[in-house]
Amino acid sequence: MTDRMNEAWLLRAALALLAVGLCLMGTPLEALAHGVTAGDKGYIQEVSGVLLVPFAYLGAKHMVTGYDHLLFLLGIIFFLYRMKDIGIYVSLFAIGHSTTMVLGVLADVTVSSYLVDAIIGLSVVYKGLDNIGGFRRWLGFQPSTRVATLIFGFFHGFGLATKVLDYEMSPDGLFPNLLAFNVGVEIGQLLALGAILIAMSYWRRTTSFARHAYAGNVVLMTAGFVLMGYQLAGFFLFDV
């Protein structure tokens, strides 16, 4: 009994932490002050030259506070138990988004960030549906989860690239700074992954996990649909 109460308490603590994280996400990353752009963007516009640690920090911050990336990660590791599998899938995701982020910035790819973010929303829906067995039931086979992770990783990378381009980084030291930003993204991903794994392993230990896992993935799909609608509305309002 005390054991179960303990677990319930830990789960609640994890949820509270998640809530605090969600509140922090709402903090504006930039604010227009009198004649000056404030926040991270303002900083980036003021500096030039190679600055590895600051850009690594910004990359990590972007990942830890990026709910779309975190939701997809949550979907990926939902049913992964072994550290080896987690390592493989997270590496595939990292390879995917690193490639397109660096290439996207260097080639100055200007895809609508709304469309890219809508596809990222779609990736969350896909993973939720995949987790509850939708594709196996409807298609009769399991579409490769590794290939899907890599392909959606490419799209997440384009999302990162559009954000980095919006920062208007100085061309002086762009490439090393970009790599540092990318390293930061991976560090942030590991930190976020650690938090998600802790919360998930407590959830899995509860007897109700099997029942709630299905509902959890339907909630994940819902969140993905909300992201898609939000971004598509932005696309039609501002980019068409």
Partner 1 sequence: MTTINTNAPAELPSSRTLLRSTLIALVVATALLFTVVLPAEYAIDPTGVGRMLGLTQMGEIKMSLAADLAAAEAAEAALLQEGGAAPAGEEPTTAAASVADSSAALRSDVTTLTLLPNEGKEVKLEMAEGAVVAYSWSVEGGVVNYDTHGDPWDAPREFYHGYGKGTAVPGQEGELVAAFDGLHGWFWRNRTGATVTITLRTEGAYQGVRGP
Give me the DSSP letters along 84-119: HHHHHHHHHHHHHHHHHHHHHHHTT----HHHHHHH
Which member of 10, 14, 45, 52 binds partner 1 (CB under 8 A)?
45
Contact string 139-158 vs partner 1 (x = CB under 8 A): -x-x----------------
Q: Which residues contact 80 (CB under 8 A, 6 or more apart)?
A: 86, 89
Q: SS3 for 33?
A: strand
Residue 237 in the binding site for partner 1 (CB under 8 A): yes
User: Which residue in the set 14, 18, 47, 109 belongs to the binding site for partner 1 (CB under 8 A)?
Assistant: 47
Residue 134 in the binding site for partner 1 (CB under 8 A): yes
- Give the H or E element holding residue 9: helix 2-25
Considering the complex, what minimum distance in angstroms separates the CB of residue 22 from partner 1?
Answer: 14
Interactions with partner 1, residue window 209-228 (CB under 8 A): 210-211, 213-215, 218-219, 221-226, 228
CA–CA separation, 70 and 25 (whole Å): 12
Q: Is 125 in the site for partner 1 (CB under 8 A)?
A: yes
Q: In the bound complex, what is the minimum distance in angstroms from residue 13's beta carbon to partner 1?
A: 26
User: Minimal distance in Å, beta carbon 137 to partner 1?
Assistant: 5
Instruction: For residue 162, give both structure tokens.
Output: 């559009």
Give the relative orientation of helices 145-166 and 113-131 as an angle to the nearest 10 degrees: 150
The verdict on 35 binding partner 1 (CB under 8 A) reads: yes
Task: Please tell me the distance from the alpha carbon of residue 211 to that of residue 229, in angstroms, as a whole number.
Answer: 28
Q: Which of 36, 50, 53, 198 lies at the binding interface for partner 1 (CB under 8 A)?
A: 36
Which of 196-222 are b and which e, b meaning 16 or more Cβ less than 10 Å from the residue's Cβ?
bbebbebbeeeeeeeeebeebbeebbe
Please name the residue that has the structure tokens 């609508």: 112
Q: Residue 14 or 38: which CB sits closer to partner 1?
A: 38
CB of 55 to partner 1, least distance (A): 15
Looking at 112, 170, 179, 195, which residue binds partner 1 (CB under 8 A)? 170
Binding residues vs partner 1 (CB under 8 A): 32-36, 45-49, 79, 125, 128-129, 131-134, 136-138, 140, 142, 170, 172, 210-211, 213-215, 218-219, 221-226, 228-230, 233-234, 237-238
